[in-house]
Amino acid sequence: MLSKTAEYALRAVACLGAQPGESSPADSLAEKTKVPRRYLNRVLQDLAAAGLVQSRPGPGGGYLLARETGEVTILEVVNAVGPLERIRKCPLGLASHTELCPLHAELDRAYAATEEAFRGVTIKQLVESTSPIVPLCEV
């Protein structure tokens, strides 16, 4: 249901969120998150454009979260790189379908529930979980 880009963005943000205030070089971030370096660069650019991460150039530089982990939701991260698309009209373009058919209405309800669930979970909740496993990245 999530695009690869959204998955990669969540990995990067969760990894950065596990070390608040510290910058992480892109090479290190790519290694920890198992995201190809070139792909990660594009993802980080999108996250920066959305105001979720910032970069620090030069020696000792890298990427860090631009906001507190408690202020960033899963939905914001996903929407920064590839928003969840709700079904507003017939995807088949059928003129007789003036409203969603039962199948597309049901699919849209599932998308709405996913959107709501993602809106309710912050990166802080992920990284401060009682689980000994750091979400989405290698330690």
**pLDDT tens per residue, range 67-79:** 999 999 999 999 9
More confident of the two residues 91 and 35: 35
pLDDT > 90? residue 130: no
Cα separation, 101 vs 23, in Å, equals 48
Q: How confident is the model at residue 135 (pLDDT cuts 50, 70, 90)?
A: low
CB 54 within 8 A of CB 21: no
Cα separation, 118 vs 95, in Å, equals 33
State what percent of residues in the chain have pLDDT above 70: 96
Cα separation, 134 vs 107, in Å, equals 32
Q: How confident is the model at residue 95 (pLDDT cuts 50, 70, 90)?
A: confident
State what percent of residues in the chain have pLDDT above 90: 64
CB 47 within 8 A of CB 39: no
Condensed to tens digits (0 to 9), the pLDDT of residues 3-61 reads 999 999 999 999 999 888 889 999 999 999 999 999 999 999 999 999 999 998 888 78
Helix, coil or strand: residue 117: helix
How many residues in the chain? 139
pLDDT given at position 117: 96
| Angle value at C-alpha 138, between 10 and 59, nearest 5 degrees | 85
pLDDT given at position 134: 62
pLDDT > 70? residue 139: no
CB 100 within 8 A of CB 44: no
Q: Where are the domains of the chain?
A: 4-83+122-128
pLDDT given at position 79: 96
Q: Say which CATH class 4-83+122-128 falls into.
A: mainly alpha
- Based on the number of CB atoms within 10 Å of its own CB, is 10 exposed (0-12), middle (13-18) or buried (19 or more)? buried
Helix, coil or strand: residue 99: coil
Condensed to tens digits (0 to 9), the pLDDT of residues 104-126 reads 999 999 999 999 999 999 999 99
CB 11 within 8 A of CB 34: yes
Cα separation, 23 vs 26, in Å, equals 9
